[in-house]
Structures are given as structure tokens and as C-alpha cells.
Structure 1
Amino acid sequence: MTGWLGPEEWQAVALSLKVSFWATLASLPPGILAAHALARWRFPGRQLLNGLVHLPLILPPVVTGYLLLIAFGTRGPVGGFLEDLGIVFAFRWTGAALAAAVMAFPLMVRAIRLSIEAVDARLDQAGATLGASPPWVFVTVTLPMALPGIVAGAILGFAKAMGEFGATITFVSNIPGETRTVPMAIYAFLQVPGGTEPAMRLVIVSVVIAMSALLLSEWLGRAVAARVGGSHA
């Protein structure tokens, strides 16, 4: 691929993979917690949490990016505090990862939530009657049974992060080598004469990565489900 893609194109692909990896890694733990809360818990504000989780799917991506800029910009309430600690998101690749994580979060949570809801709640109750604490029941019973959905959700979130554009360009701009991921590189190439060919190459790369992620998600989901089912047979 390095010979087929030019240096600038390869740089965008490498950055996209880096951003998507860290976006997925950072959003997976809170995604599992949010999915479990929505699937199993009944508490005041549950519908509010559900709405907040899915808000990035409903809002225009540019609005999400602008809200991130307000909150995590160097003059924002969160960004200003983090800057004092040496952590900067605005106009950095870390900000691109944050934007991608926020946009991928609803899809990840939905896949994991459906998997947790498919686990028989009576198994949790049986663990509790044997004296296990709720966190231990979750780790030893619910989590392994829901593993196929967790794997699928993580891969789906990774694929979504690879294609994120609107929130990212609003939050961290389109800086070559720093925040220019594949979607933004395609956009940049299409704005200049002679950019159609490199843009098309990146489009092909995007399609290949997206399809590979979906196929891998299906395969891993079936493989994990078969192993989990066999271990509980």
C-alpha cells in the first residue's frame, strides 16, 4: 500500500488508524458501563442518560464539534483546566481522537446494550443469591456472555471513527500531519486541481477498511459467541 499511496496519503491513513485505535480504546470502558446501566439498571434520569448517549447521532456533526471546541478548547472550562496539566485537545490529534470517540460512542453502546439485554437476567440473580457482589456478577457472568456484542461494538466504533469528518474538522481543523485523517484528506484533495486521483485512492482505502471491519466484526462475533456458548454448555 505504501507504494500505491503517496506520502501525504499514507500519512492520512496512518493518522486515521492511530486516531481510531485510541478513540475506540478510550470509549470502550465507559461504553460498557453506559450499556450495562441502560440494559440492567432502573434509576431516575435513565431516559436522560439514554438521550445523552444517542445525542451525537441526532445532532449535526458540526454542532457536536463546536460543543467540543467550547468545552475542550484552551479557553473552555474543561480544556483550560487540562491545559494547565499539559493536556491539550484543540487542534491536536488527541482532539481528533476525542471527536471520533464521541461520534462512535452511540453505535458502540447500542451494540453492547443489545448484547447485555440478550443475557438472561436470571443468571445475574443466581450469582447474587450465591453471595456474589453486583460488580463480581457483572465481571464473571454478564461480561463474558455479552462478549460478542462488546467485540462487535468495538469494531463498529473503530469503523465509525475512521470515517468521522464533521465534528473533527470543526473541533481540530484540517492540519496536515496532525489532524488530517482520511476523510479530511479526501476533502482537501478535492479542493485542488489534480486531486481527484489521490482522493479516489483514499476512497478505495476507506471502503476496504470499512468492509474489512464489518466482516471482522461478524466473524469475531460468531467465533466469540460459539466459544462462550461452548464454555457454558
Structure 2
Amino acid sequence: MLRWLKKLTGSTPPPPVRRPSEIEVDDRARDLVNLGNKMFTTNDLGGARRAFESALHLDGHCAEAWHRRGRIFLAERDLPSALACYARSLELDPQSAEAWCAMGEAILAFLKADHEPLFIREHRMAIVAEALDCFERALKLGGDLPRAREGREVCRGMIQGSPGPLIHPRLFSFHSGGILEKSKRDVVSPFLKPSDYRRKNLPAPPE
């Protein structure tokens, strides 16, 4: 079949593009994520962190490990690190309703904690609009998620009218000069291999 198609078109057809849910993840990494989740439920944050980070050392494409590691940072109120983990998780799997909801919650927590006050004063409404977009994506992908619905209502109350347009690239993304640039270097980059940012390994970024 391939020989026939190559003769017809003059080239070999490209390999099929995998959907985010089809990105292969090392089974050992999945097992470590499950272990970390159990530790998290018993409030063993240190053990959970080690399990999630071990999973990422095995397979940096494990979106769930990035998401769960972000939850550890959020519990410790290290909001820039939590946001960086959620951003990486969504790079790998932009169809995760839970990760979008977590991203929205972390953005609101960042706003409430008044991290980077000058940045917040300049972009306050855009930050709220981005959090609102996260919750709306979560609801669209995951149905009636109570946390996402609650977050959406909080954002709507803060905006008191129609939200302004989203800033592109997104404020809480890894673009050069962005608010997460340092967190990416400190929290994400140590777990990346040279192949991890090849286009073929990643789904299309969220718009």
C-alpha cells in the first residue's frame, strides 16, 4: 500500500497525527502518579512531590504528573510554580477539563495574593478574563464541574460586565518575557529533554 501511494504521489505519506490523549506515557510514570495521588490524600505532600517528580524524570510528557505537581505547589502557596506546572500540563493535554479548572483557580489565587503587584495593577482585568476563559474551557470540556462553575461566577462578579479581549499570547504562558518565564526555567526546564519541545510531540497550543 505504501509503495503504491509513494508511486502515485512521489512521496511517503506522513505518519498520522496523534491526539493529545494518544500521547504515549511510560507505564512506570503512571504508577508513580497513582502513588503520589494516594500520598496527597493522606497529606504527605513531600512524598507526593517526590513521586510526581520521579514520574516526570521517567517521562516528561506525562501531563497528569505536571498537573498533580502543580497541585502540590498550590497547596504550598507557591503560585508561580503551580501556574508553570499547569501551563506545561495544558501544553501536553489541552483537552483536560481538570487542568483548565486548576489553572483558573491558580490565576485567581495569584491575583488574590497580590503577587507581582505592578503586573497585576496593569493587567488586572486581563488576568480575570484569562481565569474566566480557563473556567469556561473546563466547563465546555468536562460538563458541569462545580469548581469551574463557581470560579466562573467569581470572575463574572469581578468583571461586572463583559470581559475584555484575551491577551495573546496568554499572560500565564511560557512566551518570552512573560510572567512564567522564570518559573519555567526553575520548575519546568529541569525535567525537559531536547526532544520535548519538538512540534511532533505536542498538540496544538490553546488559542
| Superposition TM-score, scaled by structure 2 size | 0.26
Richer in helix (by share): 1
Greater RCO, 1 or 2 (C-alpha within 8 Å, sep 6+): 1
Larger Rg: 1
